[in-house]
Structure 1
Amino acid sequence: MNTEVESIKKTNSQNGNSGYKDELKRVLTLKDLTIYGIAFMTPIAPAYIYGTASQLTGGMLALAYLCAMIAMLFTAYSYGRMAAAFPVAGSTYTYTQRAISPYLGFLAGWCMFMSYVLVPLVVFMVGAAYANVAIPSIPYWVWVLIIGGVTTVVNYFGVEIAAKANLYLVGLMGAIVVIFVFICGKSLLGGVGEGTLLSIKPFYNESTFSISTLIAGGAIACFSFLGFDSITTMAEEAIKPEKDIGKAALISCIVGGLIFIIQAYIIQLVWPDYSSFASSDTALFEVAKLAGGAFLAGLYTFAVVISTLTAGLTGQSSAARLLFGMGRDEVLPKKFFTHLHPKYKTPTYNIFIMCTIGIIGALTLNISLVTELLNFGGLVGFMCVNLSVIVYYFIKKRERKIFSNLIIPALGFIVCFYLWINLSTFALTVGFTWLSLGIVYGIILSKTSKNKLPMISDM
């Protein structure tokens, strides 16, 4: 207990030097933060993209996940480095703003905001789609309202409640994933699909392999990893952010990546013909039904709905806290976006905004298009954080540690940039349109005497 108190005092001092005071409640441990990241990534993430991604990769999504995990580890390391330097809410926005420029920081936050908004939107859509397939008598739109409403209520009552909910829900989801993999493996031994547990095809299929398909699949696979970075938005609610944020980001990235790879591997063996799904949006419902009948299909659907609650909780919470950080710096209207509930210390107005956007979007947009847009903002944010490590540590602070302060973040930047430029034309077009709107808004904001973008001095 004394150690926690000392850590809180130390962090309070750091925040004070940053010009901020602690406003959010410090209650999250390393375990809570790690569970938070895994919950946002969600152990059952392949359900969200498998139908589309398996076609893009020629049935080698397991390989795409492996490459994406390695790439994301570089970026996870960079997030940890920046969280140690700036343990405050705001994540990508805060790091880029302070390390490089308030203007670039604003644009990074603008792009990440798009991603954080779209994550709960996607999970509402996927959860409602699977639930509607399992129980057609309940309309899709009703499921959207149920999932959106539950996540909003839990987040409203505070991060402690959300952390406890995530712990139990992630545990339940993990157990179902284990059952799913076990039954799929048993079905393979019974002659289903490839009829074997051992095959190189999910990682390398000579007839379909190409670098272009691997890159396209890797870019989509990055969607599943959008979650470890959300841990950094909880820095002001972590007990020891300067130590635990970085550790939690790396742990969640590795654990989540391995879970994704195992599922993609076994699923490809059970259903080799990735082009024959009746619906790409609910492809794994079909896989589960083939491997384990109605029981496994129903159980897997239940897991998907649970995953929408965990990812929805963390996605909505992260977006709300990103808005809180931008509002505190008066990049957004301060009075509204920094409002905290007097008892629960949660940014309630921001939570309600995220709920509204998520529900409206889930009722009007297409899953695959939203996923592509989400990756645009996420990869821009990742590039900015990697660049921030180089600028802040290697250039400004003159800490000439070649490997940790230059090579690792540079590799993270290069990989993310390569994936980014290989996104679809649609994603790039809409993404740059959103970015252009951010530039215009930033210019207007900087010309306003009352709400100039804050110029924060070097620390």
Structure 2
Amino acid sequence: MSHGQSNANQDSAAPHFKRVLTLKDLVIYGIAFMTPIAPAYIYGFAAQSTGGMLPLAYLIAMVAMMFSAYSYGRMAAAFPVSGSTYTYTQRAIHPHLGFFAGWAMFMDYVLVPLIVFMVGASYANALIPSIPYWVWVFIIAGVITVVNILGIAVAAKTNQILVLFMGIVVVIFVIFCMKAIMGEGGASAVVSITPFFNSEKFVMTAIISGAAMACFSFLGFDSITTLSEESVNPQNDIWKAAILSCLIGGIIFIVQAYVAQLVWPDVNNFSSADTALFDIANVAGGAVLVTLYTVAIIVSTFTAGLTGQASASRLMFSMGRDEVLPKKFFTHLHPKYKTPIYNILLMGSISIAGALFLSIDFVAELMSFGGLTGFMFVNLSVIVYYYFRKKEKKFVRYLVIPGLGFLICFYLFINLSPLTLKVGFIWLAIGVVYALITTKGFKKLPPSLIDS
């Protein structure tokens, strides 16, 4: 048997995913991860911190995230394989640096399903108090884990249904808000510049702070790139999906924040900043709209949980395939469904434990560390790979845009809380120790790169 035939047989025998995801599936996947009703989680505090100009903060955040979305798209076109941040940094800059990028991003992917389990269980318990919080955690975790094991196609169809439902709720919310606005001041009251610029309350530092907070509503578009090996046309669809999901999600967030601000102009007078949109929903549509919005938030935990768990399991698969994590465990695929079942079960177990024993505030603070670290690495990867290694001297495309993406993320990163930075760097230090041991002092390369 020839060497080429041997390699071909090895490749065909290697674990591989089914290519079933279209551009529409990928866009919906990204929006599902971000969740259409993401403003519900931060609206009260963010509206107060921006002086009632959260729509402007969301607009700035959307533009800022588009730079990083572009960079993810360019790297996905160059390396259409599973692994996302880890793979791009590994191939474009350095294999060991790729491990740390993946290690940092792994924190974010682990925490996303964990926190949505917590939020979903909390709201479900509030809606049906007779069922304890811990029972809701197991119900939500069980459903999400089973759907992900059944396959990405099943998860994609489930996401389509759930995202459609949330989209309908958002539309209903906006319509009720517009009716309430017109009821107070007529049709002309729907058009106002105040949510974007109020000269009496405008403070640039406050707007930038609000934009930094709003950026975290966009965490999720990057998860699309972990599905490159399950995409029908990864070279063309991944980058389009990353940018489209970021753009569509941003518009959805801006519209909700805009009408909410007009319904409730006094952002310092909520019954609770944590549930500010419920106050607004009650004014706009009464108990029916409040209940519908509560259900939509619970549904959002399933969409974000499905996508978060799927992305983390694919990232672990890629790191296992490169033997930076134990290969036998992390690359095992279910014989029928072709999903990384051990990774999915591990993710489900970690999320259940975290949801039962950690606080939402603590988990929320850590999410940003991994996400922003990953964004910085990917922006740098575009510059190193295209502008310097391939010498494609397209100044704006391969230097200015990713450079701005890096600087924006770095600015947000250095303004994280001291606790977040401390815990985040401890996590990275653990990764350093692990890498030192497995690579024999950074002397051993991943097998996938030895012959490249």
**TM-score if structure 2 supplies the norm length?**
0.92
- Report deviation, 1:432: 1.9
In 1, distance between residues paired with 2:222 and 2:45?
A: 24
Q: Which has the larger displacement, 173-182 or 42-51?
A: 42-51
Helix, strand or coil at the partner of 1:63: helix
Task: State the match for 2:323 in structure 1.
Answer: 330
In 1, distance between residues paired with 2:280 and 2:162?
A: 23
Give the length in aligned residue pairs. Answer: 443
- Report deviation, 1:458: 9.5
Letter in 2 for 1:141: W
Letter in 2 for 1:255: I
Task: State the match for 2:240 in structure 1.
Answer: 247
Task: State the match for 2:3 in structure 1.
Answer: none
Map of 1:333-348 to 2, 5 A cutoff?
A: 333-348=326-341
Q: Which has the larger displacement, 443-452 or 257-266?
A: 443-452
CA contact (8 A) 1:66 1:257 kept: yes
Gapped regions of structure 1 (runs ≥ 5): 1-14
Q: 1:24 aligns with which of 8, 17, 30?
A: 17
**Once the two structures are superposed, what CA deviation does each residue of 1:40-65 show, in whole Å capped at 9, x if it has no partner?**
11111111222332233333221111
Letter in 1 for 2:112: V
The reply to whether residue 65 of structure 1 matches residue 58 of structure 2 is: yes
- Report deviation, 1:39: 0.9
Task: State the match for 1:41 in structure 2.
Answer: 34
Helix, strand or coil at the partner of 2:378: helix
Letter in 2 for 1:180: F
In 2, distance between residues paired with 1:411 and 1:18?
A: 39
In 1, distance between residues paired with 2:320 and 2:277?
A: 40
The reply to whether residue 307 of structure 1 matches residue 296 of structure 2 is: no
The reply to whether residue 217 of structure 1 matches residue 210 of structure 2 is: yes
**Once the two structures are superposed, what CA deviation does each residue of 1:380-419 show, in whole Å capped at 9, x if it has no partner?**
1011101001101111111111111111111111111111
Q: 2:422 aligns with which of 429, 434, 442?
A: 429
In 1, distance between residues paired with 2:280 and 2:355?
A: 24
Letter in 2 for 1:259: I
Task: State the match for 2:4 in structure 1.
Answer: none
Task: State the match for 1:124 in structure 2.
Answer: 117
**Once the two structures are superposed, what CA deviation does each residue of 1:171-213 show, in whole Å capped at 9, x if it has no partner?**
1110110001111121222339xx9423333223344433332
In 2, distance between residues paired with 1:375 and 1:392?
A: 26
- Report deviation, 1:38: 0.9
In 1, distance between residues paired with 2:32 and 2:386?
A: 31
In 2, distance between residues paired with 1:149 and 1:451?
A: 39
Q: Which has the larger displacement, 340-349 or 284-293?
A: 284-293
Cα 1:207–1:317 shift into 2, 3 Å: same
Structural RMSD (CA) = 2.5
Task: State the match for 1:227 in structure 2.
Answer: 220
CA contact (8 A) 1:233 1:321 kept: yes
Q: Which has the larger displacement, 234-243 or 409-418?
A: 409-418
CA contact (8 A) 2:15 2:333 kept: no
- Report deviation, 1:16: 11
Task: State the match for 2:291 in structure 1.
Answer: 298
Task: State the match for 1:445 in structure 2.
Answer: 438
- Report deviation, 1:144: 2.0
Helix, strand or coil at the partner of 1:370: helix
In 1, distance between residues paired with 2:119 and 2:259?
A: 21
The reply to whether residue 137 of structure 1 matches residue 130 of structure 2 is: yes
Helix, strand or coil at the partner of 1:204: coil
In 2, distance between residues paired with 1:61 and 1:21?
A: 49
The reply to whether residue 89 of structure 1 matches residue 82 of structure 2 is: yes
In 2, distance between residues paired with 1:443 and 1:29?
A: 40
CA contact (8 A) 1:60 1:201 kept: yes
Helix, strand or coil at the partner of 2:184: coil
Letter in 2 for 1:38: I
Helix, strand or coil at the partner of 1:190: helix
Letter in 1 for 2:375: F
Task: State the match for 1:358 in structure 2.
Answer: 351
Letter in 1 for 2:104: C
CA contact (8 A) 2:17 2:339 kept: yes
Helix, strand or coil at the partner of 1:43: coil
- Report deviation, 1:270: 2.2
Helix, strand or coil at the partner of 1:205: coil
Q: Which has the larger displacement, 225-234 or 273-282?
A: 273-282
- Report deviation, 1:21: 5.5
The reply to whether residue 185 of structure 1 matches residue 183 of structure 2 is: no
Helix, strand or coil at the partner of 1:423: coil
- Report deviation, 1:260: 0.5
**Once the two structures are superposed, what CA deviation does each residue of 1:29-87 show, in whole Å capped at 9, x if it has no partner?**
11111111111111111112223322333332211111111011111111111111111
- Report deviation, 1:308: 1.0
Letter in 1 for 2:430: L
Q: 1:271 aligns with which of 261, 264, 267?
A: 264
Cα 1:368–1:220 shift into 2, 3 Å: farther
Letter in 1 for 2:415: N
CA contact (8 A) 1:48 1:126 kept: no
Cα 1:447–1:60 shift into 2, 3 Å: same
**TM-score if structure 1 supplies the norm length?**
0.91
Helix, strand or coil at the partner of 1:346: coil
